[in-house]
Structure 1
Amino acid sequence: MEEIQIPSYFICPISLEMMKDPVTISTGITYDRENIEKWIFSAKNNICPVTKQSLITSIELTPNVTLRRLIQSWCTINASHGIERFPTPKPPVSKPQIIKLLKEAKSPKMQMKSLKTLRSIASENDANKRCMESAGAMEFLASIINNNSSEVFEEEEGFMSTKDEALSILYQLKLSENGLKSLIMSGNGEFIESLTRVMQHGSYESRAYAVMLMKDMFEVSTPTPLLSLKQEFFTQVVQVLRDEISQKATKASLQVLVHACPFGRNRVKAAEAGAIRVLVDLLLDSSEKRVCELMLILLDQICQSAEGRAELLNHPGGLAIVSKKILRVSKVGSERAIKILHSISKFSSTPSVVQEMLSLGVVAKLCLVLQVDCGSKAKERAREILKFHAKAWRNSPCIPMNLLSSYPF
């Protein structure tokens, strides 16, 4: 079969594939809609790929109808060569359409039906999500979640409340940074309190959506709202961790707490919520690298408080599991695990704790750290721990002979 050459002006500059839905952006360059939407919304680029001009002021995607018809005509002419004519794409949703839908959704009788339509629109593409956000969908969905009363409807898959539906759509929107910031600052922490109630009383699915949305919000948050988090918030996030709803929910819960716990008062609240015990128990069975790193980072943060260190020492396997993760997870994991032991040695090292570290093999592991390549900071802390308790440990038979040469006498 004779090879057919596609005209160059039919080709998308990003993907080098034939355009099916050509759109022109503010710089005058035409791209395939799917590819330029991925570039702008998913990859979060704000420049034109060809001209490198900024798109911050305008990211309107104008359909290039003339070019689309030319491409479709070319496909029809070359049908004998196996070229299929693609159908005319469905026009994207417009802001007035979303505003009309939101207005209809304010009626209790129409609300669930309108929410399902919004979910369908959001699932089509990223451009629809941004259009929904600009039309006020975020504020409307948040108002439903903030409302203590919620209508419940029977669906094929079970019972579904309007609050559950609104929350899943709001998470699905993948809000812009400005949208996430406005959510976390709204109503003096009202929305965070609403998500806390969802984590306390909601279904497993809604609790997962709540903590995953909170993770997105905390990633762009300033310190101010994080400093005013209540004890109940930590209790519910730790409970989501304990229940192991899903791998995504577990990871999001860890990330939420990591963002919250650089602050002293929050470390104490996390310790009082039982975070240490849950983290140690999860570490016993966890093998996924990033999850283990997050757990060790969080343990390190909480153990910078006296309450956190006490909780770790009260757990029968606390010191053992932290020591076990050294040199077994990653460089980051080893550094955090050694930092935890450094905090314990420096501030909470009673004679019984010192003896426990020796009998559990912690001392031998620290000597091993001095012999391998695991980062200068980790080695420095390991050496300091060994020096802290040199009198108690230097002559112990628990230290293997081959590691005695590493002991910093």
Structure 2
Amino acid sequence: MLTAYRNRKAARNANKIKKPVSVELDPVTIPELFRCPISHELMKDPVILSTGISYDRNNIEKWIYEDGNHTCPVTGVALTSLEPVPNHTIRRLIQDWCVENKSYGFDRIPTPRASASSAQVNAVLVLKELLSSDHEKLHEFAKIEGSIETLATLVRKPIDSTTTNASLLAIYHLVTPSTCFNQKKLLISRFHALGLTQKLIEMLVDCTRSVCEKALGVLDGLCSIDEALESAYNNALTVPVLVKKLLRVSDIATEFSVSILWKLSKYEKSVGDDESLAKEALQVGAFQKLVLLLQVGCCLETKEKAGDLLKRWNLVRGRVECIESMDFENLKRSF
């Protein structure tokens, strides 16, 4: 009897204990000042234009350098300078706001690494223009101590898209074969020795259209020597990356990709390999893409190289299970 009474009393006391109340947090609205006008998302690396409007660096650099726009996206006013300037004030405010709202899932945005100074960027841009317009300056530039190493470093350790694009274009003019090929061969060897061949292949896996075109152009120039060809040939990324770029980025990117594949195929034959490159290319859909390239049209040199590759690979095709990897709906997709 006493036990039953105690049990009933314990039950009544338990009912008196207040159950924890679940509190739902109201969603936090990101302040408009902290949103990029292009993506409407929280800015991670805010920069400001000459018009006084701030944007996230990646978005505005794509707007200017890839899309070729010279106006402010918001105001439509022509930009007096195409170089975005870091907005440290907004960045610090965003960082403080993220800390205050950490409980809502906002992580503090990191402080970006120091970007190239205006003088450094301008120097690379001037160098790019100089080398593209005056080929007689190539030899003089190569004599400057540390010049080749500096350009290679700017590509291997990217600072920003402006510097990377300008550096790649400057290197392109230095390594593209011309009448003075013996001189350029020495430059190509130096760039390859600095690890540029492998770095370019890695860059091509995931890069913007602008960088992709220039990186392919430089890689095509580097593949004029056996050392670079051997390095590219032995890299497992090379063939899949090059085949992927065919008909997906731009006409010039396709031309460079075909040229590199053609050089690699010739190299494979010269070293008496077992047609491993041909088999790999066929397995990732290169044959179908080259056939389509001839159908849609291309420049004469590319047409000849594509035809040569098809003839060589057709001999191997019957022994390889080709994978139908073409996506005709996405032929013009950049990357």
TM-score range, shorter chain: 0.5 to 0.7
How far is 1:337 from its partner?
0.8
Contact 1:284 1:321 in 2 (8 A): yes
Give the 3 Å change call, closer, same or farther, for CA 232–358 of structure 1 in structure 2. Answer: farther
Alignment of 1:266-285 (within 5 A): 266-285=187-206
1:393 corresponds to which residue? 317
Identity, in percent, stands at 27
Tell whether the 8 Å contact from 1:334 to 1:374 is kept in structure 2 after alignment.
Answer: no
Show the counterpart of 2:159. Answer: 245
Q: Counterpart of 2:251?
A: 331
- Determine the structure 1 residue equivalent to 2:283: 359
Output the CA distance in 1 between the equivalents of 2:291 and 2:311. 11
More RCO (CA 8 Å, sep 6+): 2
Distance 1:222 1:369, change over 3 A: closer
1:357 deviation in Å? 2.2
TM (norm. structure 1) is 0.44
Among candidates 355, 373, 378, match of residue 297 of structure 2: 373
1:251-278 deviation line (CA, Å, top 9, x unaligned)? 1101110111122221222211111222
Matched positions, count: 203
Q: Kindly tell me: are residues 251 and 358 of structure 1, through their superposed partners in 2, closer, same or farther at Cα, counting changes over 3 Å?
A: same
What's the counterpart of residue 169 of structure 1?
none
Return the offset for 1:341: 0.6
Change (3 A) 1:401 1:256: closer
Shift of 1:360: 3.1
TM superposition shift of 1:207: 4.2
> Which of 139, 159, 174 lines up with 1:226 in the alignment?
139
Separation in 2, partners of 1:366, 1:360: 12
Which residue number in structure 2 is paired with residue 255 of structure 1?
169
Equivalents in 2 of 1:329, 1:387: separation in Å? Answer: 25
Extract unaligned runs of 5+ from structure 1. Answer: 1-123, 125-156, 158-201, 403-409
Distance 1:400 1:203 in 2: 43
Tell me, which stretches of 5 or more residues in structure 2 are unaligned? 1-79, 81-87, 89-113, 177-183, 327-335
Q: Which amino acid aligns with 1:251?
A: N
Distance 1:291 1:221 in 2: 23
SS at match of 2:295: coil
Q: How far 1:358 moved relative to its partner?
A: 2.5
Which letter maps to 2:289?
K
2:116 partner letter: Y
TM-score normalised by L of structure 2: 0.53
Give how far 1:365 is off: 2.5
Alignment deviations for residues 337-379 of structure 1 (CA, whole Å, 9 cap, x no partner): 1011111111234223233223333333223323333344323
CA shift at 1:401, angstroms? 12
- CA offset at residue 219 of structure 1? 2.8
Structure-1 separation of matches of 2:321 and 2:192: 35
Counterpart residue number, 1:213: 126
Measured on the aligned residues, the alpha-carbon RMSD in Å equals 3.1
Q: Deviations over 1:213-247 (max 9, x none)?
A: 32233233333543771584333212111222111
Q: Take 1:401 and 1:285, find their aligned partners in 2: how far apart are those partners?
A: 19
Distance 1:244 1:401, change over 3 A: closer
The amino acid across from 1:387 in the alignment is: K
Instruction: Using the TM superposition, name which of 277-286 and 254-263 deviates more.
Output: 277-286
TM-aligned CA distance change 1:359 to 1:259, over 3 Å: same
2:306 corresponds in structure 1 to: 382
Q: In the alignment, is residue 341 of structure 1 matched against residue 254 of structure 2?
A: no
C-alpha separation between the residues in 2 aligned to 1:246 and 1:234? 19
My pick for the range that moved more, 393-402 or 373-382, is 393-402
Q: Distance in 2 between matches of 1:299 and 1:278?
A: 10
One-letter identity of the residue aligned with 1:253: S
Cα distance between partner residues in 2 of 1:212 and 1:228 = 14
Q: Contact 1:226–1:260 (CA<8 Å) still a contact in 2?
A: no
Q: Deviations over 1:126-182 (max 9, x none)?
A: xxxxxxxxxxxxxxxxxxxxxxxxxxxxxxx9xxxxxxxxxxxxxxxxxxxxxxxxx
Q: Equivalents in 2 of 1:236, 1:395: separation in Å?
A: 47
| 1:332 Cα offset (Å) | 1.5
